[in-house]
Amino acid sequence: MQQRFGDAASIHYHDVSQPEVASEYAEVIRYIKDNSLIYPVTVIDGVPIYEGAVSYPGILRAVQAKLHGIA
């Protein structure tokens, strides 16, 4: 991510089973539950974009689209 996008993007893993994480991301977790999404869920700028698996190439494409105003 750093090599491709520099400081414009980064990846963070958040374990929502941890109470402090669940509290911080309550709105996104509520969206995930309300829409019956399957963990793991990939979120970009607070918006869930992938569910059920982590796809690094998919994340790179989504970030590139977001940075170039395509998404």
What pLDDT does 69 receive? 84
Going residue by residue through the chain, which has 71 residues, state the pLDDT in tens, using 9 for 90 and above.
888 999 999 889 999 999 999 999 999 999 999 999 999 999 999 999 999 998 889 999 999 998 988 65
- 16 in Cβ contact with 29 (< 8 Å): yes
What pLDDT does 2 receive? 87
Which stretch of DSSP H or E encloses residue 44? strand 41-44
25 φ, ψ (degrees, to nearest 5): -110, 30
What pLDDT does 1 receive? 87
What pLDDT does 26 receive? 96
This prediction's pTM: 0.80
